Amino acid sequence: MIICLSSCLKQSIADAMIAEQNSRTGSGVATMNYTVNGNTVTTSVNDADSQDPRSYQLGFSKTVFPGTNSTVYILDCLSNSGEMTYTFGTDSLTTGEYEYDGIYGDLFVLSYNSENEFVHDPTDFIRFNITSYSQGHISGIFSARLTPMISAGNPNNVYGPVGSVLVTNGSFKNVPVFY
């Protein structure tokens, strides 16, 4: 009787279990969007929690410096046009505004179409406002004024027009934090 009933099912029990496992929703989609001097950059990652924490397309990582108690959070976003990265100089990432400006020294922020953009001049900045931090996922907005690096030459880097790279309309949603 059991054999007869199981043969009448549309799916085998094993197939039904696999289908149930595959139908479970993941962490959702993580997105980052911004405009660089009028050109839109969009990055989207399905089931963002499934990314490898050591090599991910869009996420935050918590980094503890060896031999110290110093902790920072690093945001990385890899898109078709390049990479955006920002180091949050905090040991406890929370909602609120984070800002870095050029009075603190040069900071790489963006590689856009093979050109590296820095917070370089005292008038340059990058601002992130984390509006939501829930269940290990962060959302918010950001903007920046950056200076392009024309050529790297230790110790004398050559920079282009100060503040000529504007990052506007920046937003990120459901971006995972890898601990």
Give residues with Cβ within 8 angstroms of 82, minimum separation 6: 110, 111, 112, 113, 114
Confidence band of 26 (pLDDT split at 50, 70, 90): low
Lowest mean pLDDT among 4-18, 120-134, 149-163: 4-18
Lowest mean pLDDT among 14-18, 32-36, 134-138: 14-18
Q: Which tens digits make up the pLDDT trace of 155-175? A: 788 999 999 999 999 999 999
User: How far apart, in whole angstroms, are the C-alpha atoms of residue 56 and residue 47?
Assistant: 12
Asked whether residue 8 carries a pLDDT value surpassing 80, the answer given is no
Mean predicted lDDT score pLDDT of the chain:
86
User: What are the residues facing 35 on neighbouring strands?
Assistant: 40, 168
pTM of the model: 0.81
Phi-psi region of 120 (alpha: psi -120 to 50; beta: other; left: phi over 0): alpha
User: How far apart, in whole angstroms, are the C-alpha atoms of residue 95 and residue 140?
Assistant: 9
pLDDT of residue 51: 94
Asked whether residue 3 carries a pLDDT value surpassing 70, the answer given is no
pLDDT of residue 165: 98
Mean pLDDT for 85-109 is 92
Cβ atoms of 74 and 60 within 8 Å: the answer is yes
The CB-based long-range contact list for 81-87 (8 Å cut-off, 24+ gap) reads: 81/36, 81/39, 81/41, 81/112, 81/113, 82/110, 82/111, 82/112, 82/113, 82/114, 83/110, 83/111, 84/32, 84/34, 84/41, 84/109, 84/110, 84/111, 85/109, 85/110, 86/126, 86/128
Q: Which tens digits make up the pLDDT trace of 12-23? A: 433 333 333 333
Lowest mean pLDDT among 3-7, 13-17, 50-54, 97-101: 13-17
Cis preceding linkage at 155, omega within 30: yes
Cβ atoms of 72 and 89 within 8 Å: the answer is yes
Mean pLDDT for 138-150 is 97
